[in-house]
Amino acid sequence: MNLRKNIELDDILLVNFVNLNDDDKEMIRNWRNHEDVRKWMYSNHLISTEEHAMFMAGVINDNKNSYWLARNKNGECIGVISLNRLDFNNENAYFGIYANPDCKMQGVGHTLIDCLKKLAFHTANLHTLKLEVIEANEQAVNFYERSGFSREGRLKECILKGGKRQDVLVMGIMRDNNANPYRE
C-alpha cells in the first residue's frame, strides 16, 4: 500500500512529508524543537537543520514509517501524525502525534487522533493501532484513554529523562473496538 500521498479526511488535508516544501519542513522542525513538544519525545535534544534534513531525506525510501502534516479547512497547519513500524502482514502499526504548539484551534488533539484512526482503520485497513507514551505524561495518557485506547503493557525504566529512568506505557486500540463510521 502506498501511503506516500496526500490524503483528505473530512475537513483535514494530510500532506505527506515527501510532498512538503522547505518552509513546511522548517516549520515542523521548529515545532519538534518547541519545549512543550520536545519534553515528551524519546529524544529531546534540539534538532539541527542538518539532522532534520537527513531525517526528511530518509522518509522518501522508508517503507515502515509514514508522516503527515495536518492542515484544517482554513489551511492552518495544526499538527503532525505518523504511522510507524507499519506491518501490513499483521495489520498493525504504532503512531506518533503532536500538535502545532501555537495552534489555537479547539479540540486539535481530538481532530488529530480522529485522523489517525481513520487513516489506520479505513485508509490503511489496519486491525490494531498501538502507541507508546511516557507514563509521567499523565495528560497524554488520560487523553488516549478517553480516545478509546487501553493500557496493554509497560516498558520498565525504558526512558532516561532529566537523569531519571521512566516507564513507558504501551496502549492500543483495535478496529473492531473503534466506533469508526469510515470502515467499509
Domains of the chain: 7-127 (3.40.630.30)
In sign, the C-alpha dihedral spanning 48, 50, 56, 62 is: negative
- Is 70 exceeded by the pLDDT of residue 178? no
Q: Which helix (H) or strand (E) holds 146?
A: helix 138-146
Q: What band does 179 get if pLDDT is binned at 50, 70 and 90?
A: very low
Comparing 12 with 4, the larger pLDDT belongs to 12
CA 63-69-75 angle, 5° bins: 150
Mean pLDDT for 140-161 is 96
Which residues have a Cβ under 8 Å from the Cβ of 178 and sit 6 or more positions away? 117, 121, 148
Phi, psi of 165 (to 5 degrees): -75, 135
Mean pLDDT for 112-136 is 96
